[in-house]
């Protein structure tokens, strides 16, 4: 795993230079109007460049068996025995790339998994059922998660399963190495910030509408901040406090953010930092408990300080209970089940 983390650090240093010089070296803009990635997003030139950097450096570690990139339609199976290892790495090489051309913070997100069966095989044939079992695991299997944010400073935030807490490192661009700059603990952060794209408010479902309404009431002292780059919005939330959400709505009924590449690693970091990460959309289920059925699956997400998540759970529970009481066909058992589902 240390070799893989070093490869990610090396990749991020190369990506940081590409990002910093993108306007000077002609790396801004789209590849062409017809090129989209596996998620249906228009590909930027830097999307392709950074994806190649990550894949190349990870394969060279000889520690990986499977690579999952948000930019690739299918999983990358490393079949050459000389380069094959026992770890799976999932990553979004450049999160928030739509903001590249306007010089807004963007980032790289990653997570590392150990193979469930670490036995090496002599055959280059990969059993499809075993492959699916390896790839489609829930977030509790992550042994390391992190992200790199490219902004006024380049910082790496990382957590390792067997070690407590979330650690932050800052890149010394002169020495091209990361320097430890402290632990992140969201529990002691006090700023009252809610982060959500309010331009979608007309499309929100009732749970999100009523929840966000709580932050707008007189004398709440909450302020709204939204950058539109997940890494940047989450980074601010971890360092300042509050919440971040990209909910389901009438246009995106399954949410917008990818489970494996974005939500799993961010949820892992948020929980290890003392916060919480749930699906929302009338559910208090943890993001990390999702069992993906496809590699580019999406999900609604609500993360932040536990107090903010509890606020959502209580608000949504009241909505469900009120709906039960309004509908005479519901029994007391139905109401009890709803209470149990949303009990803190």
Q: Which residues are catalytic?
A: 41, 47, 70-71, 92, 94-95, 262
| Pairwise CA distance, residues 261 & 247, whole Å | 17
Nearest CA-CA partner of 288 in 69, 141, 90: 141
Residue 209, token pair as written in the block = 């509408």
3-state secondary structure of 3: helix
Residue 316, token pair as written in the block = 């949504």
DSSP class of residue 262 equals I
CB 184 within 8 A of CB 146: no
| Pairwise CA distance, residues 91 & 12, whole Å | 12
Nearest CA-CA partner of 109 in 157, 63, 77: 157
DSSP states of 73-104 as a string?
A: SS-EE---TTTEEEEEEEEEEEETGGGGGGT-
Could you give the residue ranges of the DSSP H alpha helices within the chain?
2-20, 45-60, 128-135, 206-215, 230-240, 264-272, 306-326, 332-342
| Pairwise CA distance, residues 303 & 237, whole Å | 9
Give a three-class secondary structure readout of 5-59: HHHHHHHHHHHHHHHHCCCCCCCCCECCCCCECCCCCECEHHHHHHHHHHHHHHH
Beta-sheet pairing, 276-278 with 243-246: unpaired
């Amino acid at each position: 795993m240390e070799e893989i983390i070093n490869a990610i650090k090396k990749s991020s240093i190369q990506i940081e230079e590409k990002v910093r010089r993108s306007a000077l070296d002609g790396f801004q803009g789209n590849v062409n109007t017809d090129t989209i990635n596996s998620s249906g997003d228009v590909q930027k030139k830097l999307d392709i460049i950074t994806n190649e950097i990550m894949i190349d450096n990870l394969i060279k570690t000889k520690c990986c068996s499977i690579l999952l990139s948000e930019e690739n339609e299918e999983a990358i199976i490393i079949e050459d025995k000389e380069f094959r290892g026992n770890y799976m790495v999932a990553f979004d090489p450049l999160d928030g790339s739509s903001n590249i051309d306007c010089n807004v913070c963007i980032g790289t997100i990653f997570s590392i998994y150990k193979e469930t069966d670490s036995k090496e095989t002599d055959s280059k044939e990969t059993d499809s059922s075993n492959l699916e079992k390896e790839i489609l695991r829930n977030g509790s299997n992550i042994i390391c998660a992190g992200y790199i944010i490219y902004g006024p400073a380049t910082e790496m935030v990382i957590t390792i399963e067997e070690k407590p807490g979330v650690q932050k490192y800052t890149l010394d661009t002169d020495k091209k190495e990361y320097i430890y700059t402290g632990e992140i603990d969201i529990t002691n952060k006090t700023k009252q910030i809610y982060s959500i794209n309010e331009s979608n408010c007309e499309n929100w479902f009732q749970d999100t509408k009523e929840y966000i309404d709580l932050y707008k009431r007189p004398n709440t002292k909450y302020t709204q901040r939204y950058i539109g780059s997940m890494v940047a919005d989450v980074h601010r939330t971890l360092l300042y406090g509050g919440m971040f959400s990209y909910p389901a709505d009438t246009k995106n009924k399954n949410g917008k953010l990818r489970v494996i590449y974005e939500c799993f690693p961010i949820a892992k970091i948020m929980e290890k930092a003392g916060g919480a990460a749930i699906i929302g959309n009338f559910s208090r289920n943890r993001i990390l408990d999702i069992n993906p059925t496809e590699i580019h699956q999406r999900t609604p997400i609500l993360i932040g300080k536990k107090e903010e998540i509890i606020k959502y759970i209580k608000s949504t529970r009241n909505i469900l209970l009120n709906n039960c009481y309004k509908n005479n066909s519901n029994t007391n058992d139905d109401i009890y089940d709803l209470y149990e589902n949303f009990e803190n």
